[in-house]
Structures are given as structure tokens and as C-alpha cells.
Structure 1
Amino acid sequence: MSTRDIHVVVVGISTAGIAISKAIAALAKKGRYPGLHVTIVDRNAYWYYMIGAPRAVVDKQFGHQLFFRQDTLLTPFEVDPLNPKHRFIQASLVAVNSDKSIELSNGEKLSFDYLLLSTGATNSFPANVIAPSLEDARSRLLQLHDNVKNAESVLVIGGGAVGVETAGEIASEYPKKKVTLVHSGARLLPSNFKAGLSDGAVRKLRRLGVAVVLNERMVIPADTPFDGTIRPLSLKGKSGNTYDSELQFLTIGPKIHTEYLVSLEEQLDTKLREANGAIRIKPTFQIDHDQLTAVFAVGDVNSLPAGNKYAMKAVEQAQVAAANVITMIEAGFDQNPKDCNVSLEEWDGSEANMIVVPMGRNLGVAQVAGIAFGRCFVGNFLARNVKGKDYFLAKNATEFPPGANA
């Protein structure tokens, strides 16, 4: 047993951040490192299960369950609840410094022995819900549900999984509503999956009455809010066609915000990020710089290819990163980094080869073990029984203590 103080900071309670925080906090719970402190930092007071957003726009009760209090995440890992070692801070990350400290938007400066960045990528509403409080976030999502119900026409821009699911849920719930899905590519869904998946998705969406438009890049004015408000809007495509709608969803181009590394890049006089902001990493998930061996980047925020940016892959990444931090802690890296030679686990680089895409409660497509189930009934069966029941909400809810989403 080591009694030394060890400070681990996890910034961003994404799917990866949850897995990392719990895995490392468990060390203290086992009694091996009573001086281990895990601090989690996130700009929101709540964790939002964004995977369930397509169902939430048509199911008010389901949407209510997608929010979880983050301050309770590590409570089960406290050895002495009256003297907590772990901490949640609601704030944004402003800067990472070369002296192993970070600066937060609330004015705090935290020192760390190990830093894990899992700040993810920012999507448009409702895949991302920003609000001052959990209650406000729920209210905003519930208002969107009512707006979807009342709008006569809906435009979904982007034919990835979220766009297909959103269009399918709305068309399935409201068969008389005009729903249009516009996608810039020649096929729907991510290109790392088989073309048969796209063929099936197009066919089934059209069966639901969705107007599917491919090879059309929309011209979107910079001030278009995509905030879930009903407003008559005419948007043009590059083809010259005009698309009229009362309610619009943008389901393309999540953006990576890593401006917090600018000052660190200046201090080290090097680039740590790709042009899109993604953090360059080693196969161990350490940032790719010799002076940053105790800083890791996991999930959407890192520079791995798109095929690694799925929830299941984020958890796998988190497991590797957490295992490496634990290995470093056990080897005493935070005490004597120069004299500590450790062998760390490396990511195998495998991309996702499984996907399930519901379109409402009864239709969908899937790819499992490299086999695409697009047009056939098997895709419907898998979508309905694997993901379409609750978008895996019940499984993910178990990551938090009971009552966290009450």
C-alpha cells in the first residue's frame, strides 16, 4: 500500500470520461492508494445521454430520463463518505500548462500528477443540450418534443446514423408530417460500413414517407441557429433546389474544441493538434510529446480516424488509457518519472464493424461481424430488439448511482 498523494484530473465526462474516472477511483476504494484523489471537471452539472436524442424528440418521458447528476458519479468509490477524496467541479477547461497544472473558467488552478482529456466533440442540438442547470436542460428538450409534434414539416440535414435515426423516429411517430432528409454524399451512413446498409436505410426511410435527397450539399447561413425552434425557413442546396421547413435539425460535422491547448503549444513551441483541433496521440493515448507523458486524450477529442469515434470504441479507448495510468501509478511514475520505465498497453487501431440504426420502433438496419442487414427483415429485428428498445439507456444508466437521473 502507498500512502502518497496522487492527483488525477479527468476533464470532460463523456462516455470515455465516465469509464476512466471510475476505473481509477476504484484503486482508492480497494485501499491500495488511500491518498489517490480523482477530480472530474465538466462544464455541465449533468451528463446527457446524447445517443438517445433521436427517440427523445418524439418520446417526452424518455427524454426526461437522459440526464444524470454528475456530482454523484464517484460517490460509490469513496472509502469514507464523510471525508470524500474525489471531487466534481462544474467549469470549463481554459488552459493546460507545462508545469502540470490546468486553469478553469471558475478561476481555479489545479495541479495534477495525471491528466486525462475526454472533452469530446460539440454537436448541434439536440445531440448536445447546453443549459444552466439540469432542470433547464430537461425543459429545453421537452420543448423540442412539443415543437416536433406541432411542426408541419421537418428538415434533417446530414445522413449519418443520428440523421437517419432522427428522420426515422419523427416519420414513424407522425406519419402525416412532411419529413425531408438531405445528405451531401452518394449514400447514407458512415462509409466504413457496407453500401448495403445505405440501400436499406434509403428504402426503409422512404417506406416511412421520408423524402431522401442524396448528393445535395446545403448552403447554410452562419446565423442559422438549429435550436429546435419552430420557424419557417427556406434553405438552398448547391443544386439550386430550395427546401422549405418549419423545424430544422443539423446532424453533421461535430466540432472539436481544444483551444485550451493553445498556451501549452506556445510554452512547448510545438503543435499538439491537427488542423481540426484533434489532439495528436501515441498508441498509448498519451499526447504525442515527450514532455507530456502524464497527459492522455481519449475519445472524440483525439486524432484517431472516424471509425474509432463510436461509443463502444470510446469505452475501449478509456480502458486502455485507464490501465496505462494505473500501471504508471503502480510503478511510481508520479514520484520518479525519469527513473520509471514502464511498458504501457497500446491501442490496436481497430475500427467499429458493428452498427445498429433504428428508424422508429419497428424498422432499421444493422451490420454485425461485417455482414450488412439493410433491406431484409433481419435489420428490422436487430434494430427493434437490440437498440430500438431504449437506445441502450438502461445499460448506460447503471454507470451512475441509483437516483442520479431522478
Structure 2
Amino acid sequence: MKVVVVGAGYAGTFAANRVAKKVRGAEVTVVNARPEFVERIRLHQRIAGTAAAATPLTSMLRAGVASRIGTVEKIGDGTVLLDDGESLGFDHLFLAVGSTVRPLAGTVPVGTWEGAERARTALAALPAGSTVTVVGGGPTGIETAAEVADARPGVRVRLIGSSVAACLSGGARQRALAALSRLGVEVVDDGVEEAADGVLRLRSGREVPSALTLWAIVEGVPELAARSGLDVDAEGRVVVDAYLRSVTDQRIFAVGDCAGVAGSRFGCQTAAPQARAAADALARLAEGREPEPYALRYVARCVSLGRKDAVAQFTHPDDSLKESYLKGGTAVAFKRIVYTGTKYGSRKAIGA
């Protein structure tokens, strides 16, 4: 059985390793644009120069799993067409291309490796007293603003977003806002309409200076699925059945951010469970057994607030917020477990 995995983030790496582990005789090939496995949830640390956030992909894949550096242009009938004109055949395919960013012109996106590298270089070159603006009031924006402010106390950091930290409950949100204030981050409840010549024009009409503007809004998914003729939802995610198979072609599983599962959100907490469920479904099918449906289940939302603070907001399985949360050193330790555990899980494809 030939299995191709498109994308080597948390979902793709986990799926490839688990298929190699559980599906007897599977020939697994991973296609990825980079020769590294990127820890996307640590890109804010990469920008600030406090973490590497990348590991050679070969060290993340089980023995026998092949890797191909390249980009898939289109998925056809049992084949994938690569950007170099070559093609790979498959019996089953795992689509794990993640989510993407659509930055405003004049800003640097922080949700991709390439954008994070540009941001890191630009930030390192800024003299003291410069202003860095982060656009986006969700976890990515909060973590980026806090990490930059903590690592570069000589620069001014501004965070612009509507209802910053609304992804957290009352107590956790106040804790996050207080931490940002303590780090000297100016929080502005607004949006950015235009970024040009070191000046940002806000929706309110206000204009503010910005030596470096970082776009920290992750939205949408790559167009590969739609371009390949698969049914997609309004956000461009693959429409899947209960076993995470494309309703267009049941040879194709979609996992992670690009899978159209109702109630799911972008993040590693979505990626690994879906990759496990889809790989296990393929293993059961290969054995002539009925697969088990995927069950959505969340535990927490973790937000770093610099190197020595964090909040870990607990959630119900459907991702609705509980009032309980961790803070301070306990939350930092919890977040560290998330970093290391997610990477370890992707490499080992843990679980029975």
C-alpha cells in the first residue's frame, strides 16, 4: 500500500509515523516544502530569538518513512503532481497542509516559518526606542507581543486587535491583559486598514508610527484541496465524513487545520488527535475492519506571556470555556509540557 502524506507539521508528521507503525506493509512518503519540521506554536519565540523552533525532518520520521522536499500543485486520481513536474502515485493520501495567513500589505506575517524568519531578522536590526506593532488579539498576537516585549525591553510594543484575549475566560483574560501591561505592551482595541511608510492607519481613523508591523492573524487554509476538485466548506477546508475521509474521494484523509470538522479550531490540539484517528481508521480498513469515528475533544487553551508567565485556560470537550485556569509558573510548566509533548507525540505517534 502506497501512502502519501502532504505536509509535515504536527498532523502530517504524526499521521506518517502512525501509519508506518500500524499499517503493515505501508510505503509512506511525506511531501513537505521544507526539510525541517517546524514547531509552529513556538514561532513567536523564534521571532524574539529565544528558541530555534525547527528540527530536521529526517529526525522526526520513523525508519522507512521517505521524505520528498517539494510542493504539491494538485491532487489527481490516485496521483499527486509536484511543483517540479514529477508525480507520485498513492493508494491513500493524508492531506495535512495546515492553515495559512493573509497579511495586509506592508506587514510581516508571523504564522509561517518564512514570515517568522523575516520578522526575526527585522526585529534584531531595530534600534532601541523603535516601535513594534503586533496585529491580532488572539493567542498568536498575544504570545508574539509578550515574547518580543520580554526579550527586547528596549523597544516599544503595541498590540492592536478587537477584544484582545477574548479567547480566554474572565479571570484568565484579566490575567493576560495584566501581564501585557506589566511587560509594557500598549493594547489598542482597533483594527489596521493600511500599513505604509512606517505609519499605520487604523479603522478608527487614528494614525500611529510603527517601525515593524507583525501580522498575527491566522486565517484560512491553502487552496490545494479546492484546486484539486475536493469538496470544501466556506473556509476552504475539506468536507470530511465521520472518519476524516474526503466525501469526494475516500482514499483521501484530511487532518488538522485543513479538515472541515464542525467545532474544530486551528492548533496542535486539533492536529494530533485527528492524525491519530485517521491513521487508525486506515489501519482498521487495511485489516478488513470497520473504522471508528473521530470524536472532537479539547482540554485547554495555553497562552505564553513572555518567558516566565503564562495562562492555561481549561475548556469543556467542545472547546467552550471553563472558569478554571492555571497561571504563573504552573502555567509555564504546563505550556512547556505542551511544547515538548506535542513534538514528542508527532515523532513517536503515541497511543495504542
Q: Which bin holds the TM-score, normalised by the shorter protein?
A: 0.7 to 0.9
Counterpart pick for 1:56 among 33, 46, 49: 46
| Aligned match of 2:233 | 274
Whole-angstrom distance in 1 between the partners of 2:36 and 2:129:
29
Does the residue aligned with 1:95 lie in a helix, a strand or coil? strand
The question of whether the paired residues in 2 share the 8 Å contact of 1:365 and 1:373 is answered with no
**What are the residue-to-residue correspondences of 1:82-121 with 2, within 5 Å?**
86-97=65-76, 99-121=77-99
The question of whether the paired residues in 2 share the 8 Å contact of 1:93 and 1:260 is answered with no
Does the residue aligned with 1:264 lie in a helix, a strand or coil? coil
For 1:119, give the aligned amino acid. Answer: V
Deviations 1:91-116 (A, max 9, x none): 1111112x312211121122211111
State the Cα distance separating 1:151 from its structure 2 match: 6.3
User: What TM-score, normalized by structure 2, do the two folds share?
Assistant: 0.86
The count of aligned residue pairs is 337
Deviations 1:187-232 (A, max 9, x none): 4242xx4233322222221122111112x121036xx7xxxxxxx6
Is the alpha carbon distance of 1:53 and 1:373 closer, same or farther for their aligned partners in structure 2, counting shifts above 3 Å?
A: farther
State the Cα distance separating 1:9 from its structure 2 match: 0.7
The question of whether the paired residues in 1 share the 8 Å contact of 2:240 and 2:247 is answered with yes
Whole-angstrom distance in 1 between the partners of 2:48 and 2:229:
44
Does the residue aligned with 1:324 lie in a helix, a strand or coil? helix
Does the residue aligned with 2:209 lie in a helix, a strand or coil? strand
State the Cα distance separating 1:381 from its structure 2 match: 2.6
Whole-angstrom distance in 1 between the partners of 2:172 and 2:125:
30
For 2:279, give the aligned amino acid. Answer: A
Deviations 1:212-266 (A, max 9, x none): 112x121036xx7xxxxxxx6111111111121111110113331123543435x
**What are the residue-to-residue correspondences of 1:4-153 with 2, within 5 Å?**
6-27=1-22, 32-33=24-25, 36-60=26-50, 62-63=51-52, 66-74=53-61, 76-78=62-64, 86-97=65-76, 99-123=77-101, 125-130=109-114, 143-144=121-122, 146-147=124-125, 152-153=130-131
For structure 1, the residue ranges without an aligned partner over 5 or more in a row are: 1-5, 79-85, 132-136, 225-231, 266-271, 332-341, 402-406
Percent identity for Structure 1 against Structure 2:
24
Whole-angstrom distance in 2 between the partners of 1:52 and 1:149:
24
Counterpart pick for 2:279 among 317, 322, 330: 322
| Aligned match of 1:199 | 174
State the Cα distance separating 1:343 from its structure 2 match: 2.1
Whole-angstrom distance in 2 between the partners of 1:118 and 1:244:
38
Is the alpha carbon distance of 1:305 and 1:382 closer, same or farther for their aligned partners in structure 2, counting shifts above 3 Å?
A: farther
Deviations 1:259-297 (A, max 9, x none): 3543435xxxxxx012331111112100123xx111111
| Bigger strand share | 2
Whole-angstrom distance in 1 between the partners of 2:344 and 2:122:
23
Whole-angstrom distance in 2 between the partners of 1:399 and 1:19:
4
For structure 2, the residue ranges without an aligned partner over 5 or more in a row are: 102-107, 316-320
Does the residue aligned with 2:99 lie in a helix, a strand or coil? coil
**What are the residue-to-residue correspondences of 1:220-369 with 2, within 5 Å?**
220=194, 233-264=198-229, 272-289=231-248, 292-305=249-262, 307-331=264-288, 342-350=289-297, 352-368=298-314
Whole-angstrom distance in 1 between the partners of 2:266 and 2:120:
28
| Aligned match of 2:188 | 213
Does the residue aligned with 1:200 lie in a helix, a strand or coil? helix
Does the residue aligned with 2:327 lie in a helix, a strand or coil? helix
Deviations 1:165-198 (A, max 9, x none): 11111222333421110102x34242xx423332
Whole-angstrom distance in 1 between the partners of 2:120 and 2:186:
26
Whole-angstrom distance in 2 between the partners of 1:58 and 1:246:
16
State the Cα distance separating 1:314 from its structure 2 match: 1.1
**What are the residue-to-residue correspondences of 1:381-396 with 2, within 5 Å?**
381-387=329-335, 392-393=339-340, 396=343
| Greater radius of gyration (CA) | 1
Counterpart pick for 1:179 among 121, 144, 157: 157
| Aligned match of 1:82 | none
Whole-angstrom distance in 1 between the partners of 2:213 and 2:129:
10
Is the alpha carbon distance of 1:398 and 1:121 closer, same or farther for their aligned partners in structure 2, counting shifts above 3 Å?
A: closer
Does the residue aligned with 1:130 lie in a helix, a strand or coil? helix
The question of whether the paired residues in 1 share the 8 Å contact of 2:264 and 2:296 is answered with no
User: What TM-score, normalized by structure 1, do the two folds share?
Assistant: 0.75
Does the residue aligned with 1:57 lie in a helix, a strand or coil? helix
Does the residue aligned with 1:165 lie in a helix, a strand or coil? helix
Whole-angstrom distance in 2 between the partners of 1:150 and 1:38:
49
Does the residue aligned with 2:221 lie in a helix, a strand or coil? coil
